Amino acid sequence: MRKGGTAHRVYSVVVFVILASLDNVAIGLVPPLYGSIGDTFGVGEGHIALATTIMFLISAVAAIGFAYAGDRTDRKPVLILGTGIWVAGTAWSGLSTGYGEFLLAQVLAAFGLGAVASVSFAVVSDLISPKRRGLVMSFWGLSQGVGTLAGTLVGGLLGHNDWREPFLVAAVAGVIATVAYVFTYNVPRGESQPELAGVEYDERIHPDDLPVILARRTNTWLIFQGFTAQIALGSLVWLPILFRARAEAQGYTAGTAVLVGSVFATLFQMGGALSILGGLAGDRLQRRTPRGRALVASVGVLAAVPFYVVLFFVPMTIDVPDGASAGRVVRAVLTDVFTQPTVGFCLITAVFALMLTSANSPNWFALIADVNPPEHRGTVYSMGNLVNGFGRAGGNAMVGVAFGGLAGAFPPPLNYAVGLAGFQFFWIPTGVMFWLASRTVAKDMADTHASLLAAASDLAESPHGDVGGDPPVGVEGLARE
């Protein structure tokens, strides 16, 4: 495999996607196991949910520092360090002997997780041409959604008898991914930018660049839309609890109910795989108007709200063998999709709702790359991720409180349904902010385009400018066309 060649670049993209997926696996492991972990440590589900909330917050805060370090220095060692930290924290979580120790382990894992998404986002954005950003970023976002689903599924399947096993398996997978990352291509900054073709661009972020970043009005909307979006998304980590409660209400034992909740929550989030359609739609409309990506995201999240509300209130008839093996329960759940009309209808509604909201992710990623120069992208992403973290942690924490408050008026599982449905209305301000971003994106893109052309001109005139070589060749369909 030639260094920097097509095969090396494809390999690098695949490894980055896997890394982005694994960090979400680590986050998704805990919610299906709230009850089991709490029983081991003698605390309630709320105490274990606190670990998830803290994880969201710390990873988001840590991402700022890691992203700035990545934009300022060599990105590969920063990402390796962060991955090693979250692997250690995840393994420690599975070996913890008390609640305090478990909480500290989750804090350590969260700190390392902050490096993965923010730094690798900046690297991947340098591999993708502007024309294909929506499509490729949909795979990037999909990898994170798949990671969350995998975490939910692995947590339920491996952890229904022993909750420690999923953490140790995830840690081993993280070690393997870290070794694979060592051999990835060290992507030069700005490699996919047409404006920088033929020059060696290695501009780094500076401390006084923050006002410049915030002066791009589109960045403001892209950063703050995540707060309300993630309140809604943060509430969805309780999906396994809703479906577990529905199973328990129908008389199933706790172990079987945990399995049912995890499998149903995984199935019902499959619509996230259709983020590819949102990315394609954003790419296509972007060719007609600079507002394209932002409008696709705005319409998608607003249109999804009524489907979510319907999803949580449709009754489900669950028919699985109580106390059976994990394999038999999973097969029975899959059979229910086709034999129980209420289950099939819920699945269709969930897939459609998640398809609409998943238009947010790839277009958000692509817009950050569109309006910011390469040396700012990791930091802008991490700023958005910080706001996302506060929103997601807030959603996760507030839904738990809401469930408790609603339990007096609505017995489980109805209290979970009412709480989850109410939190989906936070998508409305998210849609409005994407629409506002669509009004400023054309100017910000033009300004960034002009600044990159000016930088390329200065580098070409410099005695150190690389003016004699051909522009770098990228992965077909991913790199510069």
Query: How far apart, in whole angstroms, are the C-alpha atoms of residue 130 and residue 132?
Result: 6
CATH number of residue 73's parent domain = 1.20.1250.20
What is the tens place of the pLDDT at every residue in 406-418?
877 888 788 888 8
Q: Is there a domain that residue 220 lies in?
A: yes
pLDDT at 431: 96
- Beta-sheet strands, E only, within 195-334: none
> 87, exposed or middle or buried, with CB in 10 Å at 0-12, 13-18, 19+?
buried
Q: Is there a domain that residue 183 lies in?
A: yes
pLDDT at 1: 57
Query: How far apart, in whole angstroms, are the C-alpha atoms of residue 218 and residue 214?
Result: 9
Q: Is there a domain that residue 160 lies in?
A: yes
Closest CA to 284 of 293, 275, 273, 276: 293
Q: How far is CA 139 from the centre of its chain?
A: 11
pLDDT at 264: 84
Q: Is the peptide bond before 413 cis (omega within 30 degrees of 0)?
A: yes
Q: Is there a domain that residue 196 lies in?
A: no
Q: Is there a domain that residue 467 lies in?
A: no
Structural domain of 46: 6-188+207-461
pLDDT at 2: 61
Q: Is there a domain that residue 139 lies in?
A: yes
pLDDT at 372: 92
Per-state percent for the chain, helix, strand, coil, to nearest 5: 80, 0, 20
Q: Is there a domain that residue 473 lies in?
A: no
Closest CA to 423 of 468, 383, 392, 453: 392
What is the tens place of the pLDDT at every residue in 80-133?
898 899 999 999 999 999 999 999 999 999 888 888 877 878 887 887 777 777
Q: Is there a domain that residue 480 lies in?
A: no
With a cut of 50, which residues of the chain have pLDDT below it? 465-481
pLDDT at 87: 92
Q: Which residues contact 193 (CB under 8 A, 6 or more apart)?
A: 130, 201, 374, 452, 480
pLDDT at 113: 86
* Proportion of the chain above pLDDT 70, given as a percent: 94
- Given a contact cutoff of 8 angstroms between Cβ atoms, the answer to whether 132 and 284 are in contact is no
Q: How many domains does the chain have?
A: 1
Looking at this protein, which amino acid is placed at residue 229?
A
